[in-house]
């Protein structure tokens, strides 16, 4: 059982580098815990000696004074007891003090490592490419980070501390026991293996039941939550009875589990007390016989009772420490798996030249690596530096995929993408992303001030520049209407912007970088045509000064661009200017007319 546990620690081995990093905490911790146990283990010896002093006193009473003890003898004995008492007090205080220092070193070390581990994970997560995030749901990743790190910390701190404590205290106590009396030592240790085995077994059970109980509880709350969140549906379908029945069933299952847990928990304390009781009884029984035969002093019995009490905690802790270690091992296995994910988007040359801004796609095919969905087929186009390209297409036609490839969030399956004639794989990936202004389709704003949200991509941005880009994005007026203006908090603790306002803040953010290449991915979808017109008008000059790719499913957004490509199911079906495309009477014209009739254009 234990062998199994300790053999499979190959995942936790990865944490050893952190122990090395905090070696002074670790070594001092071991020293302190050893001192704590040494001081503790002296106490029973002194208890025995105190008893012995009284024993001597009694013996002298019965042999010499026949009943009455002179004050002088009493005082002498009391003096001896006082000294012993002071020593014991000193040992207890020293032992406690070193326990305190142990916590200050080992538990502090575990908190420091926890912090490093979190930072390492965070850094690693930031370095991973989007493909990782598509495969793994973000909630999972965050849960992993906090839950698994928490469990690993339990190993680094409490398990290591109690583990070392367990070993030093057991070794010291057993050594002193055998030093004092071999036979009593054997008798008092006899029930201990049974004790630690049953405690291991019971704590295992308690843990399994607790996990199951947790699952039952989450079922129960999901049922409750859903039934109230969806109360309209429940009522309109007349399903109240069924849903109540489901809740009752879940609740009964929960009750049954918690009963099981309570029963086994109830067993824990009595079992421990019982087994320790057996040890003590054995010591008292065997010891008293020896006392009667004058082979042992009464004090030794008291001494051994204290030793047994000293051993109780380490033996109880075995089960607990083992299960912490097992959980930590499982958590660390998951963390290691996370660390094994590497970002393949790297560059050998890592060029960082100043960009002019011409972009070309040459026969680009793209299949999403995780799902196998064919997103783009044989896409080719050129944009000269400073010109604009419109990409029009229905939903799912591959527009956003083109943007993702241009930013090198993914690598093409085949074909080449060049910027200023250089393969984008030769640019430093971070530099590339920093140089391109990108307004993603799904806007994300941080729970921070509007100002900081706009300034996200630029260090030390000036207020006047921030206001200027906000004006270009036609959101300045909205912002200054808020009481705190640019300092207005967004998100959970602040206000919620409308969809259109968010998009415009996101545009301002991309503009602030003053990029040579700007990609706007459907970023005007949530504004009405009038606002769209305003923004595009404001942006006219901005777009002129750089290469821009405007992605939309609305003709109104792309009609002003120098060249438009029309995408359908991942393929380019038409290319030309707005006027060319209207003349050619193709798909573009059909879309245009349809949108015109819906007053979208
Ligand atoms: N991250 C992804 N992983 C796997 N498949 C994806 C991913 N993103 C998009 N796809 C798929 O690739 C195809 C093209 O999607 P894309 O997002 O490029 O379309 P779009 O033209 O931008 O659509 P919309 O107008 O709705 O934004 C779709 O079939 C889509 O399901
Ligand atoms: Mg899209």
Among 11-15, 319-323, 591-595, name the one with the lowest average pLDDT. 319-323
The response to whether residue 369 sits with its C-beta less than 6 Å from ligand 1 reads no
Distance of alpha carbon 239 from alpha carbon 162, whole angstroms: 54
Q: List the chain domain ranges.
A: 12-181, 359-597
% of the chain beyond a pLDDT of 70: 95
Query: How do 374-383 and 517-521 pair as beta strands?
Result: unpaired
Supply the DSSP symbol for 438.
E
What pLDDT does residue 456 have? 85
Q: Can you tell me the mean pLDDT for 166-187?
A: 90
Q: Where do we find the tokens 């190993």?
A: 155
In the structure, what pLDDT confidence band is assigned to residue 502 with cuts at 50, 70 and 90? confident
Q: Facing residues of 367 across strands?
A: 374
Residue nearest to atom 31 of ligand 1 (CA): 396
Please give the structure tokens belonging to residue 69: 């003890």
Which range of 91-95, 350-354, 495-499 scores highest in mean pLDDT? It is 91-95
Query: Which ligand has its closest atom nearest to the C-alpha of 398?
Result: 1
Residues 9, 11, 14, 19, CA torsion sign: negative
In the structure, what pLDDT confidence band is assigned to residue 555 with cuts at 50, 70 and 90? confident
User: What is the separation of C-alpha 500 from the centre of its chain, rounded to a whole number of angstroms?
Assistant: 33
Question: CA separation (Å) from 83 to 88, 302, 599?
Answer: 9, 19, 100
CA of 303 to the centre of ligand 2 (A): 78
Q: What does the pLDDT look like over 23-67, one tens digit per residue? A: 999 999 999 999 998 899 888 988 888 888 887 777 777 676 666
Q: Can you tell me the mean pLDDT for 106-131?
A: 86
- Strands of the sheet with 547-552, listed across from one edge: 436-439, 517-521, 547-552, 388-393, 563-568, 571-576
Among 191-195, 273-277, 330-334, 509-513, name the one with the lowest average pLDDT. 191-195
Please give the structure tokens belonging to residue 70: 């002179």
The response to whether residue 554 sits with its C-beta less than 6 Å from ligand 1 reads no
What pLDDT does residue 137 have? 66
Distance of alpha carbon 239 from alpha carbon 228, whole angstroms: 12
Whole-structure pTM value: 0.62
The response to whether residue 399 sits with its C-beta less than 6 Å from ligand 1 reads yes
Q: How many CA atoms lie within 13 A of 197 on its CB side?
A: 6
In the structure, what pLDDT confidence band is assigned to residue 600 with cuts at 50, 70 and 90? low
Superfamily of domain 12-181: ABC transporter type 1, transmembrane domain (1.20.1560.10)
Average pLDDT across the chain, whole number: 84
Let me know: does 518 contact 543? Beta carbons within 8 Å.
yes
Q: What does the pLDDT look like over 288-317, one tens digit per residue? A: 998 888 888 888 899 999 998 888 888 777
Q: Can you tell me the mean pLDDT for 63-92?
A: 80
Among 247-256, 426-435, 493-502, name the one with the lowest average pLDDT. 493-502
The response to whether residue 132 sits with its C-beta less than 6 Å from ligand 1 reads no
Q: Can you tell me the mean pLDDT for 348-371?
A: 85
CA of 399 to the centre of ligand 2 (A): 5
The response to whether residue 557 sits with its C-beta less than 6 Å from ligand 1 reads no
Please give the structure tokens belonging to residue 576: 């030309």
In the structure, what pLDDT confidence band is assigned to residue 369 with cuts at 50, 70 and 90? confident
pLDDT of 554 strictly over 70:
yes
Residue nearest to atom 18 of ligand 1 (CA): 398
Q: How many CA atoms lie within 13 A of 199 on its CB side?
A: 24
Which range of 73-87, 207-221, 412-426, 519-533 scores highest in mean pLDDT? It is 412-426
What pLDDT does residue 99 have? 92
Q: Can you tell me the mean pLDDT for 535-563?
A: 83
What pLDDT does residue 463 have? 86
- Strands of the sheet with 422-423, listed across from one edge: 374-383, 359-367, 414-419, 422-423
State the DSSP string of 219-276. Answer: HHHHHHHHHHHTHHHHHHTT-HHHHHHHHHHHHHHHHHHHHHHHHHHHHHHHHHHHHH
Query: Which ligand has its closest atom nearest to the C-alpha of 132?
Result: 1
What pLDDT does residue 345 have? 77
The response to whether residue 391 sits with its C-beta less than 6 Å from ligand 1 reads no
What pLDDT does residue 4 have? 45
Annotate 120-173 with three-state secondary structure: HHHHHHHHCCHHHHHHCCHHHHHHHHHHHHHHHHHHHHHHHHHHHHHHHHHHHH
The response to whether residue 40 sits with its C-beta less than 6 Å from ligand 1 reads no
Distance of alpha carbon 594 from alpha carbon 149, whole angstroms: 55
Domain 359-597 in this protein, CATH class = alpha beta
Query: How do 359-367 and 414-419 pair as beta strands?
Result: antiparallel
The response to whether residue 373 sits with its C-beta less than 6 Å from ligand 1 reads yes
- For the CA atoms of 308, 309, 315, 320, what is the dihedral angle to 10 degrees? 170
Distance of alpha carbon 381 from alpha carbon 251, whole angstroms: 62
CA of 220 to the centre of ligand 1 (A): 37
Distance of alpha carbon 500 from alpha carbon 543, whole angstroms: 20
Name residues whose C-beta falls within 8 Å of residue 411's C-beta, 6 or more positions apart in sequence: 344, 345, 405, 425
What pLDDT does residue 110 have? 92
In the structure, what pLDDT confidence band is assigned to residue 3 with cuts at 50, 70 and 90? very low
Number of H helices, E strands in the chain: 24, 10
Q: Can you tell me the mean pLDDT for 326-332?
A: 85
Query: Which ligand has its closest atom nearest to the C-alpha of 570?
Result: 1
Let me know: does 275 contact 194? Beta carbons within 8 Å.
yes
Q: Which H or E run contains 478?
A: helix 476-481
Please give the structure tokens belonging to residue 338: 């996370």
CA-based angle 184:54:71, to the nearest 5?
175
Residue nearest to atom 28 of ligand 1 (CA): 396
Let me know: does 148 contact 121? Beta carbons within 8 Å.
no
The response to whether residue 134 sits with its C-beta less than 6 Å from ligand 1 reads yes
Q: What does the pLDDT look like over 386-409, one tens digit per residue? A: 888 999 988 889 999 999 898 888
What pLDDT does residue 100 have? 93
What pLDDT does residue 2 have? 43
In the structure, what pLDDT confidence band is assigned to residue 20 with cuts at 50, 70 and 90? very high
For residue 323, the tally of other CB atoms under 10 A from its CB is 19
The response to whether residue 368 sits with its C-beta less than 6 Å from ligand 1 reads yes
CA of 440 to the centre of ligand 2 (A): 9
Residue nearest to atom 12 of ligand 1 (CA): 375
Distance of alpha carbon 543 from alpha carbon 98, whole angstroms: 69
E strands present in 404-532: 414-419, 422-423, 436-439, 517-521
């Amino acid at each position: 059982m234990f062998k199994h546990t300790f053999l499979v620690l190959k995942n936790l081995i990865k944490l050893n580098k952190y122990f090395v990093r905090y070696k002074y905490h670790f070594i001092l911790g071991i020293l302190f815990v050893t001192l704590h146990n040494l001081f503790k283990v002296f106490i029973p010896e002194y208890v025995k000696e105190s008893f012995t002093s009284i024993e001597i006193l009694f013996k002298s009473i019965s042999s010499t004074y026949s009943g009455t003890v002179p004050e002088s003898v009493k005082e002498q004995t009391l003096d001896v007891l006082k000294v012993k008492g002071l020593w014991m007090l000193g040992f207890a205080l020293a032992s406690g003090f070193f326990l305190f220092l142990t916590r200050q070193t080992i538990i502090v070390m575990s908190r420091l490592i926890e912090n490093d581990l979190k930072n390492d994970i965070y850094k690693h997560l930031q370095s991973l490419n989007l493909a990782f995030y598509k495969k793994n749901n973000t909630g999972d990743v965050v849960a992993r980070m906090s839950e698994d790190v928490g469990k690993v910390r339990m190993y680094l701190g409490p398990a290591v501390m109690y583990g070392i404590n367990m070993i030093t205290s057991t070794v010291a106590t057993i050594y002193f026991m055998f030093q004092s009396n071999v036979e009593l030592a054997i008798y008092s240790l006899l029930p201990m293996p049974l004790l630690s085995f049953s405690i291991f077994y019971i704590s295992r059970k308690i843990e399994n039941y607790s996990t199951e109980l947790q699952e039952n509880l989450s079922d129960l709350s999901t049922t409750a939550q859903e039934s109230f969140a969806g109360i309209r549906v429940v009522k309109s379908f007349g399903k109240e009875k069924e849903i109540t029945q489901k809740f009752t069933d879940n609740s009964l299952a929960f009750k049954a589990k918690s009963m099981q847990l309570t029963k086994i928990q109830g067993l824990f304390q009595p079992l421990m007390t019982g087994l320790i009781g057996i040890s003590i009884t054995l010591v008292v029984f065997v010891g008293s016989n020896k006392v009667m035969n004058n082979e042992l002093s009464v004090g030794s019995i008291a001494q051994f009772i204290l030793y047994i009490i000293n051993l109780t905690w380490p033996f109880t802790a075995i089960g607990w420490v083992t299960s912490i270690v097992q959980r930590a091992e499982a958590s660390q296995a998951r963390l290691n798996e996370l660390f094994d994910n590497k970002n393949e988007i790297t560059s050998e040359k890592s060029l960082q030249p100043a960009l002019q801004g011409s972009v070309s796609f040459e026969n680009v095919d793209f299949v999403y690596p995780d799902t196998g969905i064919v997103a783009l087929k044989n896409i080719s186009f050129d944009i000269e530096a400073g010109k604009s390209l419109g990409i029009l297409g229905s939903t799912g036609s591959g527009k956003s995929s083109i943007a993702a490839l241009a930013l090198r969030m993914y690598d093409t399956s085949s074909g080449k993408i060049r910027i200023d004639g250089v393969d984008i794989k030769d640019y430093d990936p971070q530099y590339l992303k920093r140089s391109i202004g990108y307004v993603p389709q799904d806007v994300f704003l941080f729970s921070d001030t509007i100002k900081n949200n706009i300034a996200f991509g630029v260090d030390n941005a000036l207020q006047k520049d921030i206001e200027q880009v906000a004006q270009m994005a036609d959101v300045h007026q909205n912002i200054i209407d808020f009481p705190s203006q640019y300092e207005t908090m967004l998100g959970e603790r602040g206000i919620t912007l409308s969809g259109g306002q968010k998009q415009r803040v996101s545009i301002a953010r991309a503009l602030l970088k003053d990029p040579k290449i700007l990609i706007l991915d459907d970023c005007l979808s949530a504004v009405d045509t009038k606002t769209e017109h305003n923004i595009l008008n404001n942006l006219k000059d901005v777009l002129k000064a750089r290469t821009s790719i405007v992605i939309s499913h609305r003709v109104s957004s792309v009609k002003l661009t120098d060249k438009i490509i029309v995408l359908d199911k991942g393929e380019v079906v038409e290319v030309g200017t707005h006027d060319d495309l209207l003349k050619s009477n193709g798909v573009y014209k059909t879309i245009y007319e349809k949108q015109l009739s819906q007053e979208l254009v």
